[in-house]
Structure 1
Amino acid sequence: MDMRGNGNRRGKWLQIVALLGMAAALWGCGNGGDAASTATGSASQSSTAVSKSAFVSLVPSGDGGLIIQGNNMNGVAGIALTINYDSSVLAAPTVTQGGLVAGSVMATNTQYAGTIKLAIVSNTALSGNGEIAAVSFATVNGTGNASLASVELIDGSGAAVP
């Protein structure tokens, strides 16, 4: 009996379960607390969340926006992250999918001022470095603070990437 088909279905099932879990976390957890008390970085500085192999950076784009950069993303098939920003300076964020995750399913939640939640799941593992997403703000009144509050990376089987 050929088990490859079952393995592929199992992998797809795990990816769907992971996406549903990320989506539940994305929309079911409110705004994640008081953004003013948890924002620690600055839009003029990089903020990085690091694992042993892959990591995500938050880099200013120069126009008041942010680039979410993925580095050494080999084997990563799912990303869930939260960005906190200073809502007294930055408002109405828009998130655009980047080239590194082109073709992936992306869900965002910008409903709560001061917080952006993002979840991405891919059918195939990502590879290398690149832009995960770009964040622009409709209102930029000076230099605002922004930081990565949390980053979770998973592989194709739904296991955490160390």
Structure 2
Amino acid sequence: MTTEVEFQKRLTIEQVEEGNDLAPKFDRDGLIVCVTTAANSGEVLMVGYMNQEALKKTISTGEAHYWSRSRQVLWHKGATSGLVQKVLELRIDDDQDAVWLRVEIPGDASCHVGYRSCFYRSVPTGEGDHTLKFEESEKMFDPKKVYGDAPNPTIL
């Protein structure tokens, strides 16, 4: 039996910053940012967004759910690929407008492009060339085999 997740009304700064009430602040689009890291290494895997339903489902199921801004749908991460993110820890920041998930993933990859992390490239800073540099040399899986003809979620 799953208990219903309820969010509290935001009443005071003290309640939000120092209290035990879960009172998340969603932006004007009804979203809250979520940083997701690998539980074992701390590596940033992705940054996504959650609406109220996604956050509630994540809390109640222990598996990451997001709101896809490009597709405008609730998204159970890994439902298609099998790379489901099992939440080991969920934290919310001081003013409750950002979420941090520490997750484990079978197959150890998170990015729909096939890399372990969605942050597989770096940007050189300072003067000189700012061409993107690949920090991951190998893909963890072949996206064509995993997703087939499913539309790519990246929007130009």
Q: Calculate the TM-score normalised by the size of structure 1.
A: 0.26
Please identify which structure carries the higher helix content.
Answer: 1
Q: Calculate the TM-score normalised by the size of structure 2.
A: 0.27
Tell me: higher relative CO, structure 1 or 2? Use CA pairs within 8 A at least 6 residues apart: 1
Please identify which structure carries the higher strand content.
Answer: 1
| Structure showing greater Rg | 2
